[in-house]
Chains A and B, each alone.
Chain A
């Protein structure tokens, strides 16, 4: 079986690195081919990397509260770039101030994300979701 390829990174002007680092390492240990873009990654770079590596999923992080601004229109750009089929995940603190995880989930699903993860996400479970979603798409 070919290793599935995934892109990780912190989107926009966000500099919080720890979450995406831990996630990247966990993904690698779980058998993924991980392209780790790190912090301060413009949405275009995610798309570029996904095209170049023929990625199966993009796993974005954002903690600084301005994610919505950063990713509005991202799904559309992905479609334009022919990445319709790439899974989009996002996780972190997805707005300014105390959050309601349910609201965040709805909001970012509307913006085109397949799954939305709150802080303190158990990464094992998230990676389990990823396997399941890839399987459902017949990618693994």
Chain B
């Protein structure tokens, strides 16, 4: 189990593969579900050329750790990995990675669903987009979009 806040770009598939390789659970998990959120070059009807993600370092890390513990307990996961970018982000960069391992498929998919909604609605991160007409704080995350 681990939750990282990353100030530099990461390769999500490589991160999952390497986390999984270090795990002793290879023969025990029957299911892995993952979710990756990436930066689009378009939001809310405007082109976005860059983004800066601010966070509250101590609270954000504490929040991610708690989220993982809750997901593992509630869905009886074998393992869970969260990585979230901060700092300057470019189009196509992965922003968030969630991966859940369990004996059974329903647990992994439900936990992934829950974790991304918690991250979107409660984790202390804030996005500022750079558009043609300047910089702009994103006001609020949408429900499920």
Q: Do A and B come from one complex?
A: no
